[in-house]
Each structure stands twice: as C-alpha cells, then as structure tokens.
Amino acid sequence: MIVGVVKESYPGERRVALTPNVLPGLAKTGVETIVQAGLGLSAGYPDAHYAEKGARVVESRADVFRSADLVAQVRGYGANPERGREDLGLLRRGQVLVATFEPLTALDQVKAVADRGVTLFALELVPRITRAQSMDVLSSMATIAGYKAVLLAASELPRMFPMMMTAAGTVTPARVFVVGAGVAGLQAIASSRRLGALVHAYDVRPAVQEEVESLGAKFVELEIDASASQDAGGYARDLGDDFYRRQREAMSRVLVNSDVVITTAVVPGKTAPVLVTADMVRGMPPGSVIVDLAAERGGNCELTRPGETVTAHGVTILGPINLASTVPFHASQMFAKNVSTFLLNMIDKEHKLDLGKDDPIVRESMVVRDGEIVHPRVRESIGAGAAATRSGA
C-alpha cells in the first residue's frame, strides 16, 4: 500500500500530516510513503529527512495523488473549502482520504468527495474511548492551543504573571480564569500555573474538579445543573439557551476579579456558546485580556472577532484561529503520531487496509465508503438540509 502526503494548501497552515519519525513504523507493515517536495519545510522537516526514513520524494502534487492508495492531510476539502476544491480533480475512485474535514457542517464538500467515489475518514470523529486516545487529533491540537493561549495572554497583559519579591516592592500574581477544563483548558491551567499565576477554573462537569485542583488551580462551583454536559462519545453537548444564560450570570462574579480569561467551550458541529457577553466584559478590570479559543466557531465571547485582536471597555480580546499551526514542529509530530496509529489500526496481517473491520474507531470515523455517505449523523444532517430546502421552496 502506498500512502501519500501533500503540502497543505490552507492559508497559513504549516503543519504536515506525517513526519519522518513515523515512517519506519508504517514501513514495517508494508506501507510505502510518497511525499510532495517541500512538504515539511514550514514545520522544520526538510525533504532529506523524509528520504532518510524511506519516503519517495516527488515534485508535483498530482504525482502524489496519482500514485497513492491513501492520501493523508491535515485539512481535507471540508476544512479547506476554498483551496481544497483544487484537489477534487486529483482524487480517483477507490482512493482513501484521511484528514480533518468538518464533516458535520461541510456537507456540500462531503457530497463532492463522495461523488469522486473515494472513501473518507474524518479524524474529528474518532471516538473518545481509551483505545483511541493515541489517535485523537482534537486532543493533541487542543493541548497546543491551551499552551499557546497562555503565552498570548501573557504577552498582551500589562502586568506579569508571577508574584515577585523585589527591592522595588512586591509584584502580585496575575489572576487567570479558565472556562472549560477539557484538554485545552487543563493545559492552559498548567501553563498559567508554571508562569506563577493564581488560577481559577470552571467546567460544567463537576467530575473534573479533582483534575483542576491537581494542577494547582481552584475549581469554581457555580451550582448549575449540567448532568447532560457530554454525549456518549465523550464530546461536549449543547445545553440550551436557558442554561447558558444562568451560567453567564454566575460567571460574572468571577470575571470582575480576573486579569486573564481563557475560554475553551466548543460543541462539535455547532456554533460555540456565548459565555461572556459585552456587559460582562464591561465589568472586567481595565487592561484585562480574554483569549477566546472558540473563535473559529464564532467565539465564547460576544465581542470576539475570529483572527483579530480587538479592545472594548479597556479589555483586550484575542480571537486566535489555527493556533496549533503556530507551533508547527511539535503540532505536526503529535498529529503524525495520531494519524500513523490510526492507519496501523486498520492494516491487517496481509498488510492491507481492512475497511470492513468491526471496530468502533473505523466505523465512527468513516464518513464515505466507495462514494456512499455512510456516517449516520452526516446522512441525517444532509437529509435535514434537503428537507429544509424543499419546505422553503
């Protein structure tokens, strides 16, 4: 089997789907790797490193698609709707595509890929079960985002994070409030504590209190029922407007004493819930900083502008997008480990892909098989969209 990797075409994307260090492990199962020249330069992986690990380096993108049985990308067409269209004509029937794809919202792109007769795996849909942890690209990239969010906040905040005893007096520590104690939130807590900040954190799941406190932060209890906060797959669930309204009221009391707020609440396939309103921002101390890690989904702060930094009521609000790409070497290393483990899970003893394997990881991440849309949630979304179109006609 030949696995191909091409340069990412999404603007500003510096990550790569496979790095040289994972190639020997794939080669042991009979996998040959073909990569586009210059693939990893922006991430710190030159062509020579790929060649040293056994990859065949070719000049053109078309050569990779023409030769590969399976193509691995960081961003497939659905997660790269403008430039990704250029790859459609290069896909051929029977080929396998493994990438992040935004399959629950990029429905037209899913249908376009299905029309090419390929098989598509969306890495965002890998179930959050113990055996799949080493394949979870969302958690890997969230780790980097949580770390980088703290660095951005520290750079913008007009005060230092740690407490310092100096000849000029005592510097009090910055007060950081992290909203959401998932992977990104926990990493933000840990990074803030390492810099010496006083950290508080909140999550709708009371069960994470022990994890928060183990990192040296104080867990904020808002006394709001959120018993249905996650679905069976371990992903966050939309809790409804009334819940978020009551949550905002309770959170306001914490924000007024915070120098930095880092928000991380994202629901897959949906617009991010607004947790911080303009009125709440108005009540924060002048010079405070909000880093909204949900900016790509619309933002947890009402005033967030994706990809921009804005100032309102004396508060700086950052809406970073694609933060993992700003740390491309290690982001690629982690992504590649996830992807290679995902591939190895599907390769059978005869060194072939077992696409019919009765495995929840394979089953739940497969969106299209041989041109047919097979994922239940995606099929449901497409059907609902078609019904809405008919009713509006």
Structure tokens that stand for 345 in this block: 């899970």
**274 and 178 in a common domain:** yes
- The structure's pTM equals 0.90
Active site residue 128: yes
**188 and 52 in a common domain:** no
**Catalytic annotation, pick one of 73, 116, 136, 365:** 136
User: Per residue of the chain (393 residues), what is the pLDDT tens digit?
Assistant: 999 999 999 999 999 999 999 999 999 999 999 999 999 999 999 999 999 999 999 999 999 999 999 999 999 999 999 999 999 999 999 999 999 999 999 999 999 999 999 999 999 999 999 999 999 999 999 999 999 999 999 999 999 999 999 899 888 999 999 999 999 999 999 999 999 999 999 998 888 999 999 999 999 987 665 554 444 444 445 566 777 777 778 788 899 999 999 999 988 778 898 999 999 999 999 999 999 999 999 999 999 999 999 999 999 999 999 999 999 999 999 999 999 999 999 999 889 999 988 899 999 999 999 999 999 999 998 886 665 555 555
**281 and 191 in a common domain:** yes
**354 and 297 in a common domain:** no
Specify the 3-state DSSP secondary structure of 204.
coil
**315 and 341 in a common domain:** no
Active site residue 370: no
Query: Angle between the 137-156 and 328-346 helix axes, to the nearest 10 degrees?
Result: 170
Per-residue pLDDT, 386: 60
Per-residue pLDDT, 221: 85
**Catalytic annotation, pick one of 36, 109, 139, 247:** 139
Element (H, E) at 153: helix 137-156
Active site residue 242: no
**Catalytic annotation, pick one of 128, 194, 369, 377:** 128
**153 and 71 in a common domain:** no
Residue 272, number of CB atoms within 10 A of its CB:
22
Query: Counting Cβ atoms within 10 Å, is residue 151 exposed (0-12), middle (13-18) or buried (19+)?
Result: middle
B/e letters for 78-96, b = 16+ CB within 10 Å, e = fewer, are: bbbeeebeebeebbeeebb
**184 and 51 in a common domain:** no
**95 and 41 in a common domain:** yes
**334 and 304 in a common domain:** no
User: Which residues have a Cβ under 8 Å from the Cβ of 85 and sit 6 or more positions away?
Assistant: 77, 112
Q: Which of 46, 42, 58, 43 is nearest to 4 (CA)?
A: 58
Per-residue pLDDT, 235: 47
Per-residue pLDDT, 282: 95
**Catalytic annotation, pick one of 60, 93, 133, 348:** 133
Number of domains in the chain: 2
Full residue range of the structural domain in which residue 159 is found: 142-321
User: Which residues have a Cβ under 8 Å from the Cβ of 86 and sit 6 or more positions away?
Assistant: 9
**285 and 259 in a common domain:** yes
Write the CATH number for 7: 3.40.50.720
Distance CA 317, CA 308 (A): 8
Q: How far does Cα 390 stand from its chain's mean position? A: 34
Question: Contact 146/293 with Cβ under 8 angstroms?
Answer: yes
Domain final position from 293, 321, 349: 321
**14 and 76 in a common domain:** yes
B/e letters for 17-38, b = 16+ CB within 10 Å, e = fewer, are: bbbbebbeebeeeebbbbbbee
Active site residue 95: no
Distance CA 208, CA 201 (A): 10
Domain final position from 284, 305, 321: 321
Per-residue pLDDT, 17: 98
Distance CA 274, CA 23 (A): 42
Domain final position from 295, 321, 347: 321
Q: Which of 153, 155, 233, 145 is nearest to 185 (CA)?
A: 145
Per-residue pLDDT, 229: 47
**77 and 189 in a common domain:** no
Active site residue 235: yes
